[in-house]
Chains A and B, each alone.
Chain A
Amino acid sequence: MARGIKDKVAILGMGCSKFGERWDSGAEELMLEAYKECIADAGIDAKQINAAWFSTAIDEVHVGKSGIPLSTTLRLPNIPVTHVENMCASGTEAFRGACYAVASGAADFALALGVEKLKDTGYGGLPGGRGAPLQQLWNANGTAPGNFAQLATAYMTAHGVSADDLKKAIGHVSWKSHQNGAKNPKAHLQKAVDMETILKAPMIASPLGLFDCCGVSDGAAAAIVTTPEIAKSLGKSNIVSVKALQLSVSNGSESGHNSWDGSYFHTTRIASKKAYEEAGIKNPRNEVSMFEVHDCFSVTELVTMEDLHISETGKGWKDVLDGFYDADGKIPCQIDGGLKCFGHPIGASGLRMLYEMYLQFQGRAGARQLKDPRIGMTHNLGGAPRENVSSVAIVGRFE
């Protein structure tokens, strides 16, 4: 294991736009909304930023390619801007780029900004298409709900969980996010929903119903990072530092080799294990105060909590039903509403999760403030259960 970047990078400032169906805004306005909050929070001048990382996932429906859209929108002083795309992990990837630049000494101040403007397509759901030209010739005519629905099928099969039990557990996942989202003024969906409505919702891709799927939102989020020393020299207290950043990418074994049973995320198990090592965390179930994980679908969150080594494999559904991850549970998960309710503007999502952690550690989370959180983990999963990128970040108080 490499030495890692634990406590080498501090978050100096963050910003996040209101998420939702932002008919009033293009990607440029959303970027600026997040950036204005971020730079004001950081308390530095734009000219001090040495380099920037810019994340989007489906830029073909909004800003297009390259670092130019960020540079021109913010009128950055001709600094390096790198455009990153790694599906739903894109936001965390922008953050990783910025952190590595600071940790290496290449930059004193680095900006990570992610945006997604999805609601200009004319139809609901994620913009479609079937990928690369060869993939179009043979990949199943699938959608994200259909791919993740199969995680549910395989999970039930692997662990002998009945369809009723699983439906209730994943229903609880969504119920919890709606409860939490109702307390978040920036969330896309701010309405609590009762269990009956969730369980009776129309089927999207069996067994996933409407409330098992996160919506499609517009939004942007940003972070400015520096070293803890510089942050202190700027008079910052309550410093939040980066403990670990890990990414694991499928190499085709799940999709092409019969050793995987479809019931778990191979990559998430690897990325989280490495992250705990990098952060020096021995017993995550006792040491981590909060999670923001990739609940693109309710079942994704349930299974992810096992693959992050918090719930026992095959037992996560029981923890969920026991309220272990509720706002008043042992480890709150998605206290900001998660992808389900805060929203999922893909390129911004990883940064949005970090934004919530940052607010919580600084005691600025308003009505949803947790009591004395110290360590938090974010998780993004891009792709499908059979082939994906899984990114994990651990952040916490700099002590």
Chain B
Amino acid sequence: MVGIVAYGAYVPRLRLSRQAVYDANKWFAAGLRGLAKGERSMANWDEDSITMAVEASRDCLTSHKAEDVRNLYFASTTHPFKDRQNAGVIGTALNIEQNLLASDVGGSQKAGTSALIAGLNASKNGGGPALVAAADKRLTRVASANELNYGDGAAALLCGTENVIAKLVGHHSVSMDFVDHFRGDESDFDYNWEERWIRDEGYSKIVPPAIKAALAACKLKGADISHFIMPSLMPAVPKQMAKMCGVGEGAVRDLLGANLGDTGCAHALVMLVDALETAKEGDKIMVVAFGQGVDVLVLEVTAENARLPKRKGLSGWMKRRKEETNYMKFLAFNEMLPIDKGMRAEFDKKTALSILWRKRDMIYGLVGGKCRVCGTVQFPRTPVCVNPNCHAIDSQDPYNMAGLEANVMSFTADSLTYSPDPPAYYGMITFPEGGRFMADFTDSDKEQVKVGAKMRMTFRIRDNDQIRGGFKRYFWKAAPV
């Protein structure tokens, strides 16, 4: 039996008030008034699809070992790199390299479901556990409907054959070049065609036959489906598709539009995680993703789902929330405001790729060392043990610190250094297991950062080398638990 064995999600902490967006733009786009309610998730300046996918993957792997993963698929339409494997960055951050086939999947709003189908099939065919991560952080034009409708987020699903929580019943796909929207090579933004045409000629004619084919292949009827998952920017469409296929109206899952927004090609998987968090044994889940064709998956929840060890999941990350009413900050974080950053922002951020390669476990994996002689845990791992009473040479084994909680020993809020979100919080963090370093803090407020505060490590962007086309420097930061 192949299926999903674990799930995880990630949602950025900031939630942008749609009213605030509307208030800033209504002079130009009064027609957006109907969308000016609730909030959308908003990535911090140091988050992108890679960092969000790393967080969702860590959440998913709460119950499983990263080193057992044999296939890693990363679905996104906003991969930070065009040529440099994005999935490989995630793999390195999770400290998996060996026996790993990593692939980027993109180019369509159904990239997430296509990656999931590939992951399930890889596992089914004896390929071992497959991790499917999906994340999107799409830029939107100022005063567009997309700006209000989209959100940033990620989901991760581990596919396997042991202790399956939701077994794959069947899947069906069609691929056809129906261009409801596109984002060309020369643009940062989506270009959308008329909604009524998309609904009448796209969804209505492409989706129902695919769903019916999937149901037939699974020997199921529409009424058998307990959870119908279908992202769409038009909230009425999923209900309409369900009705056309005999799926009960009560089965249609909430689109999470009220306080998350549409997370792009990750959204079908984000909604799937949302469903799995409360689904009962025997529930049948249909996942439909539309984008130049359609993917349909049918899963059946098993008794294992109730036994899956607790994780944050979508609900946990949704609970961690800070309202953002500063629309200017949203624009600045997305590099859509030519803000005067000052000369301190001009320092060259060229990365020595040869150093990054030598130190990739340290920089991307937050792997320190543990001395075999005195047992001291330390970061970074160096040739001579840091313990003043030891100083043994070449004595350290790699020691993974990414999953450890740390305490704030000292900190400051620095208004002098350049930060996209001043003041810059940073401080000395110490790990109870041993080891410490001066770390940048993120997702931090004055009220949370205190001496003794507990912090968790999170994989983030520290710099963006814009001189060289946007080479993102990733490292780990400390965030309040």
- Taking Cβ atoms with an 8 Å cutoff, the residues of A that contact B are 121-123, 125, 128-130, 133-134, 136-143, 145-147, 149-151, 153-154, 157, 203-206, 208, 251-253, 255-259, 261-262, 386
A134–B473 alpha-carbon span in the complex (Å): 12
B411 at the interface (CB under 8 A from A): yes
Contact assessment for A134 and B416 in the assembled complex, using a CB-CB cutoff below 8 Å: no
* Nearest CB of chain A from residue B89's CB, rounded to whole Å: 14
- Chain B interface size, as a band, is 35 or more
- Taking Cβ atoms with an 8 Å cutoff, the residues of B that contact A are 342-344, 347, 349, 351-352, 355-356, 359, 362-363, 376, 378-380, 382, 386-388, 409-419, 423-424, 426-428, 430, 434-440, 451, 462-463, 473, 475
Residues of A within 8 A of B417 (CB): 128, 141-143, 146
Q: Which of A122, A134, A204 contacts B343 (CB 8 A)?
A: A122
Closest residue of chain B to A129 (Cβ to Cβ) is B347
Contact assessment for B347 and A139 in the assembled complex, using a CB-CB cutoff below 8 Å: no
* Nearest CB of chain B from residue A200's CB, rounded to whole Å: 16
Closest residue of chain B to A130 (Cβ to Cβ) is B347
A150–B379 alpha-carbon span in the complex (Å): 20
Contact assessment for B426 and A141 in the assembled complex, using a CB-CB cutoff below 8 Å: yes
Contact assessment for B343 and A133 in the assembled complex, using a CB-CB cutoff below 8 Å: no
Residues of B within 8 A of A150 (CB): 410-412, 427-428
- 9 A-B pairs besides A138-B437, A141-B419, A141-B440 with CB distance below 8 A are A136-B473, A140-B426, A141-B424, A150-B427, A150-B428, A153-B411, A157-B451, A205-B414, A257-B376
Residues of B within 8 A of A206 (CB): 412-413, 423
Closest residue of chain B to A213 (Cβ to Cβ) is B416
Contact assessment for B475 and A137 in the assembled complex, using a CB-CB cutoff below 8 Å: yes
Closest residue of chain A to B462 (Cβ to Cβ) is A141
* Nearest CB of chain B from residue A324's CB, rounded to whole Å: 26
Contact assessment for A258 and B430 in the assembled complex, using a CB-CB cutoff below 8 Å: yes
Closest residue of chain A to B344 (Cβ to Cβ) is A128
* Nearest CB of chain B from residue A345's CB, rounded to whole Å: 19
Q: Offer 5 A-B interface pairs, CB within 8 angstroms, sorted by A.
A: A146-B416, A149-B414, A154-B410, A256-B436, A257-B387
Residues of A within 8 A of B419 (CB): 141
Contact assessment for B415 and A137 in the assembled complex, using a CB-CB cutoff below 8 Å: no
Contact assessment for A257 and B388 in the assembled complex, using a CB-CB cutoff below 8 Å: yes
Contact assessment for B386 and A252 in the assembled complex, using a CB-CB cutoff below 8 Å: yes
A153–B426 alpha-carbon span in the complex (Å): 12
- Leading 6 A-B pairs by shortest Cβ distance: A146-B414, A150-B410, A149-B412, A140-B426, A256-B386, A123-B343
Q: How many A-B residue pairs have CB under 8 A?
A: 133
A256–B427 alpha-carbon span in the complex (Å): 13
Q: Assuming the A-B contacts A140-B426, A153-B411, A154-B409, are A125 and B388 also in contact, with contact meaning beta carbons closer than 8 angstroms in the complex?
A: no
Contact assessment for A262 and B386 in the assembled complex, using a CB-CB cutoff below 8 Å: no
A105–B424 alpha-carbon span in the complex (Å): 52
Residues of A within 8 A of B380 (CB): 138
Contact assessment for B436 and A134 in the assembled complex, using a CB-CB cutoff below 8 Å: no
Contact assessment for A153 and B435 in the assembled complex, using a CB-CB cutoff below 8 Å: no
Residues of A within 8 A of B347 (CB): 128-130
* Nearest CB of chain A from residue B216's CB, rounded to whole Å: 54
* Nearest CB of chain B from residue A296's CB, rounded to whole Å: 13
Q: Which of B423, B424, B436 contacts A255 (CB 8 A)?
A: B436
Q: Assuming the A-B contacts A145-B416, A257-B378, are A138 and B424 also in contact, with contact meaning beta carbons closer than 8 angstroms in the complex?
A: no
Residues of B within 8 A of A149 (CB): 412, 414
A121–B343 alpha-carbon span in the complex (Å): 9
* Nearest CB of chain B from residue A162's CB, rounded to whole Å: 14
* Nearest CB of chain A from residue B440's CB, rounded to whole Å: 5
Contact assessment for B438 and A255 in the assembled complex, using a CB-CB cutoff below 8 Å: yes
Closest residue of chain A to B431 (Cβ to Cβ) is A258
Residues of A within 8 A of B462 (CB): 137, 141
Contact assessment for B376 and A123 in the assembled complex, using a CB-CB cutoff below 8 Å: no
Q: Which of B355, B414, B440 contacts A145 (CB 8 A)?
A: B414
Q: Which of A123, A143, A261 contacts B414 (CB 8 A)?
A: A143
A129–B346 alpha-carbon span in the complex (Å): 9
Residues of A within 8 A of B415 (CB): 203-205
Residues of B within 8 A of A251 (CB): 388
Contact assessment for B424 and A146 in the assembled complex, using a CB-CB cutoff below 8 Å: yes
Contact assessment for A125 and B362 in the assembled complex, using a CB-CB cutoff below 8 Å: no
Residues of B within 8 A of A140 (CB): 426-427, 438-440
Residues of B within 8 A of A143 (CB): 414, 416-417
Contact assessment for A253 and B386 in the assembled complex, using a CB-CB cutoff below 8 Å: yes
Residues of A within 8 A of B428 (CB): 150, 154, 262, 386
Contact assessment for B412 and A153 in the assembled complex, using a CB-CB cutoff below 8 Å: yes
A382–B343 alpha-carbon span in the complex (Å): 24
Residues of A within 8 A of B440 (CB): 140-141
A286–B168 alpha-carbon span in the complex (Å): 83
Residues of B within 8 A of A261 (CB): 409
Contact assessment for A262 and B438 in the assembled complex, using a CB-CB cutoff below 8 Å: no
**From A129, A147, A151, residue with most partner B Cβ within 10 Å:** A147
* Nearest CB of chain A from residue B336's CB, rounded to whole Å: 22
**From A128, A138, A157, residue with most partner B Cβ within 10 Å:** A138
Q: Which of B376, B386, B416, B475 contacts A205 (CB 8 A)?
A: B416
* Nearest CB of chain A from residue B427's CB, rounded to whole Å: 6
* Nearest CB of chain A from residue B339's CB, rounded to whole Å: 16
* Nearest CB of chain A from residue B321's CB, rounded to whole Å: 26
Q: Which of A130, A257, A258, A262 contacts B410 (CB 8 A)?
A: A262
Residues of B within 8 A of A145 (CB): 412, 414, 416
* Nearest CB of chain A from residue B373's CB, rounded to whole Å: 14
* Nearest CB of chain A from residue B476's CB, rounded to whole Å: 8
A72–B366 alpha-carbon span in the complex (Å): 48
Contact assessment for B412 and A205 in the assembled complex, using a CB-CB cutoff below 8 Å: yes
Closest residue of chain A to B408 (Cβ to Cβ) is A153
Residues of A within 8 A of B410 (CB): 150-151, 153-154, 157, 262
A142–B440 alpha-carbon span in the complex (Å): 8
A147–B424 alpha-carbon span in the complex (Å): 12
Residues of B within 8 A of A142 (CB): 414, 417, 424, 426, 438
Residues of B within 8 A of A122 (CB): 343
Residues of B within 8 A of A133 (CB): 351-352, 355
Residues of A within 8 A of B418 (CB): 141
A150–B412 alpha-carbon span in the complex (Å): 6
A261–B440 alpha-carbon span in the complex (Å): 19
* Nearest CB of chain A from residue B458's CB, rounded to whole Å: 14
Closest residue of chain B to A133 (Cβ to Cβ) is B352
Contact assessment for B386 and A257 in the assembled complex, using a CB-CB cutoff below 8 Å: yes
Closest residue of chain A to B430 (Cβ to Cβ) is A258
* Nearest CB of chain A from residue B410's CB, rounded to whole Å: 4
A122–B419 alpha-carbon span in the complex (Å): 19
Residues of B within 8 A of A141 (CB): 417-419, 424, 426, 440, 462
A149–B410 alpha-carbon span in the complex (Å): 9
* Nearest CB of chain A from residue B266's CB, rounded to whole Å: 28
A138–B344 alpha-carbon span in the complex (Å): 18
A260–B469 alpha-carbon span in the complex (Å): 42
Q: Assuming the A-B contacts A153-B412, A253-B388, are A258 and B427 also in contact, with contact meaning beta carbons closer than 8 angstroms in the complex?
A: no
Closest residue of chain A to B364 (Cβ to Cβ) is A137
Contact assessment for B351 and A125 in the assembled complex, using a CB-CB cutoff below 8 Å: no
Closest residue of chain B to A252 (Cβ to Cβ) is B386
Residues of B within 8 A of A136 (CB): 349, 351, 463, 473
Q: Assuming the A-B contacts A138-B362, A143-B414, are A259 and B388 also in contact, with contact meaning beta carbons closer than 8 angstroms in the complex?
A: yes
Residues of B within 8 A of A129 (CB): 347
Closest residue of chain A to B436 (Cβ to Cβ) is A258
Contact assessment for A137 and B359 in the assembled complex, using a CB-CB cutoff below 8 Å: yes
A140–B409 alpha-carbon span in the complex (Å): 15
Residues of B within 8 A of A146 (CB): 412, 414, 416-417, 424, 426
Residues of B within 8 A of A137 (CB): 351, 355-356, 359, 363, 462, 473, 475
* Nearest CB of chain A from residue B230's CB, rounded to whole Å: 42
* Nearest CB of chain B from residue A17's CB, rounded to whole Å: 26
Residues of A within 8 A of B409 (CB): 154, 261-262
Q: Which of B342, B382, B412, B438 contacts A123 (CB 8 A)?
A: B342
